[in-house]
């Protein structure tokens, strides 16, 4: 049996669709918040609690996923990440090439070299150090 829709059914469907579209448009986006509040959120998400340190060993990307969400969030949050964090750089066998990308980013997004500790592990390999 074929169902017959009346004008009333159509009106209800249109109203439901308008409500759905309105609720989509009323979502609160991170980038719609004031900059001061966004910076507080970035600090909460990008800085470890307490006297924590971010360990960099060159084997993987050291940046949090939040900085890969979109260009605007990256632009706003990356300087907080590099300026306000304390980093421990782990260098295996004097292979300083493994931490070179970190230094390039740190220099680009932060005007300070404070908050870094270098931890040397493995066997000293002078060829790696001079590379």
pLDDT tens-digit map of 45-78: 999 887 778 888 776 667 888 999 899 999 999 9
pTM: 0.68
Sign of the dihedral through C-alpha 95, 100, 102, 107:
positive
Given a cut of 60, is residue 13 above it in pLDDT?
A: no
Pairing of strands 87-92, 116-121: parallel
Instruction: Report yes or no: 91 and 63 within 8 Å, Cβ to Cβ.
Output: no
Tell me the average pLDDT of the chain.
Answer: 79
Model confidence band, residue 10 (pLDDT cutoffs 50, 70, 90) = low
Helix (H) or strand (E) holding 129: helix 126-130
């Amino acid at each position: 049996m074929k169902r017959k829709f009346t004008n009333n059914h159509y009106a209800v469907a249109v109203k439901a669709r308008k409500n759905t579209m309105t609720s989509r448009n009323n979502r609160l986006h991170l980038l719609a918040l004031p900059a001061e509040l966004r910076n507080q959120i970035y600090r909460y998400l990008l800085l470890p609690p307490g006297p924590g340190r971010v360990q960099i060993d060159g084997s993987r990307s050291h940046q949090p996923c939040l900085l890969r969400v979109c260009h605007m969030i990256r632009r706003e949050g990356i300087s907080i990440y590099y300026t306000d964090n304390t980093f421990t750089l782990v260098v295996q066998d004097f292979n300083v090439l493994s931490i070179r990308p970190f230094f390039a980013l740190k220099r680009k997004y932060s005007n300070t070299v404070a908050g870094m500790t270098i931890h040397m592990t493995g066997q000293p390999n002078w060829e790696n150090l001079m590379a």
